[in-house]
């Protein structure tokens, strides 16, 4: 099983950016936690981050025929991007939306998520653990379909 983890704009600044909201774990540490968890679960994982919407669309498209599932934190593009929603719908892979913070308790402009319509679940407010839980959800989903 191969999982693509996609991170949107400013997530490369983790640990530096608004630590009271996003914590002090750095982006490099986030990637290590994900990679360690993937090893534990026996899945292969590929992690991608971009600050550019079109690059994120390209990466989702490239997952077609290559990945079995997608974990996506689209960051600010969550609240604006129909293009990311359409890309997820186009590849039709099982996807889980992750947010480090509890977006539902934040500003009104964070209450819309376009990608949510193409995701089987959304995990918010669990910090880094949310990514690991998302991998487990995808595993359960894909293995469930195999049975
Ligand atoms: C975020 C929440 C978004 O509203 C914000 O724009 C981010 C990070 C989160 O992980 O909590 O950049 O996706």
Ligand 1 site, residue 81, Cβ cutoff 6 A:
no
Q: Is 99 in the pocket of ligand 1 (CB under 6 A)?
A: yes
> Would you say residue 147 has pLDDT above 80?
no
Q: Is 22 a catalytic residue?
A: yes
Kind of pairing between the strands at 2-7 and 69-73: parallel
Q: Confirm or reject: Cβ of 100 under 6 Å from ligand 1.
A: yes
Element (H, E) at 85: helix 82-91
Q: What is the pLDDT of residues 58-72, one digit of tens each?
A: 999 999 999 999 999
Ligand 1 centroid vs 50 CA: distance in angstroms? 14
pLDDT tens for 88-131 read: 999 999 999 999 999 999 999 999 999 999 999 999 999 999 99
81's tokens? 């991007």
Residue 144: pLDDT band with limits 50, 70, 90: confident
pTM of the model: 0.97
């Amino acid at each position: 099983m191969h999982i693509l983890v996609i991170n949107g704009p400013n997530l490369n600044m983790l640990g530096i950016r608004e630590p009271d909201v996003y914590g002090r774990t750095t982006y490099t540490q986030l990637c290590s936690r994900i990679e360690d968890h993937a090893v534990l679960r026996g899945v292969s994982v590929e992690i991608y981050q971009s600050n550019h919407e079109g690059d994120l669309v390209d990466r989702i498209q490239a997952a077609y025929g290559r990945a079995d599932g997608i974990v996506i934190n689209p960051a600010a593009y969550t609240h604006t991007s129909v293009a990311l929603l359409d890309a997820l719908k186009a590849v039709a892979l099982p996807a889980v939306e992750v947010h480090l913070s509890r977006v539902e308790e934040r500003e009104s402009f964070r209450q819309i998520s376009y990608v949510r319509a193409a995701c089987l679940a959304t995990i918010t407010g669990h910090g880094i653990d949310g990514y690991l839980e998302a991998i487990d959800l995808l595993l359960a989903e894909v293995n469930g379909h195999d049975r």
